[in-house]
C-alpha cells in the first residue's frame, strides 16, 4: 500500500513537471514569451503580440512535441534493450539501427556528387534524407532479424548488433574521407540531431510510427518482468520467448529507426533515462517502470531542448551535444557502480 501511494505521488509529480517544462519550453528562447501568453495561445486565444503567437504555433510548439515524442521513443527503446539483453549498458543503438540510418543518409549526402545534377537535387532534399535514413535502418533490421533466427543467445545478438554498427560506421568513414568540405558540413549538421526542422506532416508520421512502437512495447510488459530472470525462467513461466524477442526488436526498430530518420542520431537518452526511472521508482516491475521511463524520457528531452535554446540568446546548441553532456556522466557513474557490484 505504501509503495502504491509512493508510485502515485511520483507519477503525479512527473506529470506536473512535464506540463511545466512543456510551457517553459514554449516560453523560453531567443524571444522570451510570458507564460500567460503561451497558455492563451494554446487555448486558442490571442497573445499580446502577433509575433509571439506566430513563434509559438509555427516554431516552438512543433519542436516541443517532437522533443516529447523523441524522448519517449528513445527511452522506451533503451528499457526494452536493457531488459532483453539483461545488460544495463544496452541501448537502442546496440542493434546498429542508428548506424544504419547514418549510412543511408551518408550515401545520399556524401554520394550525391557522383549523381547527375537533377538526381542529386532530388535525393539531397529533406524527404530524400528521411527516406534514406529509414531504408538504412530497415536494411540493418532485416540483417539482424535474419541472424537472430539462427542465434538463441540474446548476448550473441547484442554483439552482432554492435558489429553491424561498427561495419556501417566504417563505411560512413570511408565515404567522408572522399567527400568535399561542403558535403561533410551537411552530414555533420544532420549527425548533430535537430528537433526544430520538422513540419507538422513529418511530426504526424513520426508520432504514428512511434505510437505503433509504444503499443507493441506495452504488449510485452508482462513478458519483460519474466525476462529479468533469464530466458529459461521466462520459458518456464509459459512465455513464448521467440515471439516476445521478435516483438521487442520490432518495437525498438520502429522507435529508434523513425526517430533517427526524422531527428538525427540522438545519443544517451535511450541509455540513461531507464536508469533514472529505476532510481526514482526503485522497482523492477515493468508495469510501473514502463510508464515511469516514458514520462522521464519526455521530461529529460524537453529539458535538454530548453537548454539548447540558450534563453536570451540567438544561439542554439546542437541537441546531441546537450544530451551527451547530461548522459555521459550518468553512464560513467553506472560503470563505477557496476564495478563495485552495486548495480541491481
pLDDT tens-digit readout, 129-156:
667 777 777 787 777 767 766 776 666 7
In whole angstroms, what separates CA 67 from the centre of its chain? 9
pTM of the model: 0.84
User: Into which CATH architecture does domain 1-339 fall?
Assistant: Orthogonal Bundle (1.10)
pLDDT tens-place string over residues 55-94: 899 889 999 999 999 999 999 998 998 888 777 777 766 6
Rounded CA separation 248/236 (Å) = 19
Coil, helix or strand at residue 228: coil
Rounded CA separation 274/74 (Å) = 10
Q: Check: CB of residue 133 under 8 Å from CB of residue 101.
A: yes
CA atoms within 13 A on the CB side of 312: 0
CA angle 5, 12, 295 (to 5 degrees): 115
Which residue ranges make up each domain of the chain?
Answer: 1-339
Q: How confident is the model at residue 175 (pLDDT cuts 50, 70, 90)?
A: confident
Rounded CA separation 115/233 (Å) = 54
Rounded CA separation 211/255 (Å) = 9
Average pLDDT, the chain: 81
Residues comprising the chain, all counted: 344
Q: What is the pLDDT of residue 64?
A: 94
Residue among 84, 108, 110 at smallest CA distance from 95 = 84
Q: What does the DSSP assignment read for 253-283?
A: HHHHHHHHHHH----SHHHHHHHHHHHHH--
The grid coordinates of residue 34 equal: 510570458
Rounded CA separation 127/117 (Å) = 17
Q: Check: CB of residue 31 under 8 Å from CB of residue 48.
A: no
Rounded CA separation 137/96 (Å) = 8
Q: Check: CB of residue 222 under 8 Å from CB of residue 177.
A: no
The grid coordinates of residue 228 equal: 529479468
Amino acid at each position: 500500500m505504501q509503495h502504491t501511494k509512493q508510485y502515485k505521488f511520483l507519477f503525479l509529480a512527473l506529470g506536473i513537471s512535464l506540463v511545466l517544462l512543456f510551457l517553459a519550453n514554449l516560453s523560453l528562447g531567443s524571444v522570451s514569451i510570458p507564460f500567460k501568453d503561451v497558455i492563451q495561445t494554446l487555448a486558442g486565444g490571442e497573445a499580446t503580440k502577433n509575433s509571439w503567437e506566430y513563434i509559438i504555433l509555427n516554431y516552438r510548439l512543433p519542436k516541443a512535441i517532437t522533443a516529447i515524442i523523441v524522448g519517449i521513443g528513445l527511452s522506451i527503446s533503451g528499457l526494452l534493450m536493457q531488459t532483453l539483453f539483461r545488460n544495463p549498458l544496452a541501448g537502442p543503438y546496440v542493434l546498429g539501427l542508428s548506424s544504419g540510418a547514418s549510412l543511408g543518409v551518408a550515401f545520399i549526402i556524401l554520394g550525391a556528387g557522383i549523381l547527375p545534377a537533377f538526381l542529386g537535387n532530388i535525393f539531397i532534399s529533406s524527404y530524400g534524407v528521411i527516406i534514406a535514413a529509414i531504408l538504412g535502418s530497415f536494411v540493418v533490421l532485416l540483417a539482424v532479424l535474419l541472424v537472430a533466427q539462427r542465434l538463441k543467445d540474446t548476448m550473441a545478438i547484442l554483439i552482432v548488433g554492435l558489429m553491424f554498427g561498427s561495419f556501417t560506421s566504417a563505411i560512413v568513414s570511408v565515404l567522408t574521407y572522399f567527400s568535399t568540405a561542403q558535403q561533410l558540413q551537411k552530414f555533420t549538421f544532420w549527425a548533430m540531431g535537430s528537433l526544430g526542422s520538422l513540419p507538422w506532416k513529418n511530426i504526424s508520421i513520426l508520432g504514428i510510427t512511434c505510437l505503433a512502437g509504444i503499443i507493441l512495447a506495452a504488449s510485452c510488459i508482462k513478458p519483460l518482468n519474466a525476462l529479468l530472470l533469464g530466458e529459461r525462467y521466462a520459458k518456464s513461466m509459459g512465455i513464448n520467448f521467440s515471439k516476445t524477442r521478435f516483438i521487442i526488436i520490432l518495437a525498438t526498430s520502429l522507435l529508434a529507426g523513425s526517430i533517427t530518420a526524422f531527428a538525427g542520431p540522438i545519443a544517451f537518452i535511450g541509455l540513461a533515462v531507464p536508469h533514472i526511472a529505476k532510481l526514482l521508482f526503485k522497482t523492477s516491475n515493468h508495469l510501473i517502470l514502463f510508464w515511469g521511463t516514458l514520462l522521464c524520457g519526455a521530461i529529460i528531452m524537453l529539458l535538454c531542448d530548453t537548454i539548447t535554446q540558450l534563453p536570451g540568446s540567438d544561439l542554439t546548441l546542437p541537441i546531441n551535444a546537450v544530451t551527451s553532456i547530461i548522459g555521459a556522466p550518468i553512464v560513467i557513474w553506472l560503470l563505477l557502480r557496476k564495478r563495485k557490484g552495486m548495480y541491481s
